[in-house]
Amino acid sequence: MSQKLLKKLHEYKWSVLALVFILGALLESRGGLMALVPIVRFLFPLLVLILLFRLIKGRLSAAFGEQLRKATEQQRETMRQQMGGGAGPGGHDGNVIDLCPKCGSYLKPGHRCSK
């Protein structure tokens, strides 16, 4: 992270230096400092709104991410149970599930097609 920041600062070194000189000149006198007050009054509520938005967004994404993770894990567990427990890498453990070509239901012993 600091490498990226240093690289950016190196790219914009003259702009940063000019900004430092301008702010230094404004802060040197009382009139310059008073000229910054309207800008600060404008930017402060925006800064507060941005920080609140990021805080709320982070909390909501964390909560919904946790809900999604739980739902996905529950769905996977349900699929494992339906597949017969120890499903291997191919999605099955050697047992083949036969389906009826007419009705599509499971072919259990004693199956009678309803169609």
pLDDT tens for residues 17-61?
999 998 888 888 888 878 888 888 999 999 999 999 999 998 888
At 106 the three-state DSSP class reads strand
pTM exceeds 0.75, yes or no: no
- Burial (CB count within 10 angstroms: exposed 0-12, middle 13-18, buried 19+), residue 100: middle
Q: What is the mean pLDDT of the chain?
A: 82
At 102 the three-state DSSP class reads coil
Looking at the DSSP bridge assignments, the partners of residue 106 are 99
Question: What angle is formed at CA 71 by the lines to CA 106 and CA 60, rounded to 5 degrees?
Answer: 160
